[in-house]
Amino acid sequence: MRVANFVYIGVSLDGYIADRDGGLDWLDRVPVPEGEDLGWAGFYGRIDALLMGRVTFETVCGFDVDWPYDKPVFVLSGTMTTVPDAYRQRAEVVGGPLPEIVAALRGRGFGNLYIDGGATIRSFLRADLIDELILTRIPVLLGGGVPLFGELARPMALEHVDTRVHAGAIVQSHYRRGEQVSR
Amino acid sequence: MRVANFVYIGVSLDGYIADRDGGLDWLDRVPVPEGEDLGWAGFYGRIDALLMGRVTFETVCGFDVDWPYDKPVFVLSGTMTTVPDAYRQRAEVVGGPLPEIVAALRGRGFGNLYIDGGATIRSFLRADLIDELILTRIPVLLGGGVPLFGELARPMALEHVDTRVHAGAIVQSHYRRGEQVSR
């Protein structure tokens, strides 16, 4: 089975992944039934490792919960060379050209990668290195904040895989790159 | 039944309603079965008049088809005072503060208004004058172009009405303002 780089992210109808203050409270504005995980467990079960930007890593570190991942986390950073001591068992810093990072992780046996964080996702899209996107649309217009998408050199066609409506309000659509290029 | 201002528009996954050249070809990139109208007839049947920006009006005038509307069209413009002679029976220019325009049209018996065009939709959203949005998501990332959404002074909560997938690829979601304020 082909390995892939995935985006799985909550996004407002106007395309933001965090509000003007970096806040994420709006992601929880629709109450979801107990046990409803918006497909998270199924998605998380498919991935081998996470690759996230420094800002997202620091955001996760700042959450008032235990470390939420039991899979390897790679932190993309041009400035940070190592993670803080408390995270040494959990995360590792990577840098360099994105295709090389991906190739190196694949070489280490990490096939399916979960690409997370706005800047990182935008960089991966610009480099045409995203294979699947699972977009979870929260019914709100934020009117400003951190955008999910950025400029691309050329349009990127996608194939619709499926769409599910969760809690009668949250529209989750799964897309796949229209033209699979082996690399 | 309450009257409403509607948006019904095709939008790329990254939130554009026209590409960098103002082009709309991408709206048709997914072939739809003969007779499938993406809910257009049902929507159009509900509205009493159209209110569109000058740019959209001129775009429609430039389409290589007969005039597509058999309902009154109002053209919002700060620069144009009348429509060209050929369109006198079809369209009328309106201007002034948006709430007054809407009130005047309601006073003339036009209850449900179809608000069209990027700049016009953004202005109406900023003025909190949109009641329902029907967003038709085409599976493409354009990477640039004319954005549907713009800055808002505050977030706008929406209620999800329903979502339908057309042609196995086009995700159409219908939203309604979360808090209806009478005006």
Nearest CB to B141: which of A13, A26, A152? Answer: A152
Q: State pLDDT tens for residues A42-83.
A: 999 999 999 999 999 999 998 888 899 999 999 999 888 999
ipTM confidence score: 0.93
Which residues, at least 6 apart from A111, have a Cβ–Cβ distance to it below 8 Å? A3, A48
Torsion sign (Cα): A108, A114, A119, A122: positive
- Could you tell me the maximum CA-CA distance found in chain B, to the nearest angstrom? 44
Query: Which candidate from A139, A157, A168 shows the least CB-CB separation from B175?
Result: A139
Q: Which of B144, B153, B156 sits opposite A140 (nearest CB)?
A: B156
- Count Cα neighbours of A30 within 13 Å in the Cβ-side half-sphere: 25
A24, A124, A138, A160: best to mutate for the B interface, most B CBs within 10 A: A160
Question: Quick one: pLDDT at residue B179?
Answer: 62
Furthest-apart CA pair in chain A: how many Å?
44
- Alpha helices (H) along chain B: 40-46, 54-62, 98-107, 118-126
User: Which CATH architecture fits B5-177?
Assistant: 3-Layer(aba) Sandwich (3.40)
Average confidence (pLDDT) over A100-122: 97
B173 and B162 in contact (C-beta within 8 Å)?
A: yes
pTM over 0.90: yes
Residues of A with CB under 8 A from a CB of B: 13-15, 19, 26, 29, 125, 133, 135, 137, 139-144, 148-160, 163, 165, 168-171, 173, 175, 178
| Residue B126 amino acid letter | R
A-chain residues near B165 (CB < 8 A): 160, 163
**CB-based contact A155 B137, cutoff 8 Å:** no
> Which of B149, B152, B176, B177 best tests the A interface by mutation, with the highest count of A CBs <10 A?
B149
- Contact (CB<8Å) A152/B173: no
Spell out which residues of chain B touch residue A16, defining contact as CB-CB under 8 Å: none
A86-96 residue pLDDT tens: 999 999 999 99
Q: How many CB atoms lie within 10 A of CB B140?
A: 21
pLDDT of residue B183: 40
Per-residue pLDDT tens, chain B, 183 aa: give them.
Answer: 689 999 999 999 999 999 999 999 999 999 999 999 999 999 999 999 999 999 999 999 988 888 999 999 999 998 889 999 999 999 999 999 999 999 999 999 999 999 999 999 999 999 999 999 999 999 999 999 999 999 999 999 999 999 999 999 999 999 999 864 444
Measured CA to CA, the distance from residue B60 to residue B71 in angstroms comes to: 14
* Range name among A29-33, A164-168, B99-103 with the lowest pLDDT average: A29-33
Could you report the per-residue pLDDT of A113-133, keeping only the tens digit for each? 999 999 999 999 999 999 999
| Gap from B30 CA to chain A (nearest CA, Å) | 9
Distance CA A173, CA A167 (A): 14
Cα dist from B126 to A95, B82, B93, B99, whole Å: 41, 26, 21, 12
Selected for mutation to probe chain A from B171, B176, B179 (highest A CB count within 10 Å) is: B171
Contact criterion met (CB < 8 Å) for B149 and A26 = no
Chains A & B: contacts with CB separation below 8 Å: 103
**CB A15 to CB B149 under 8 A?**
yes
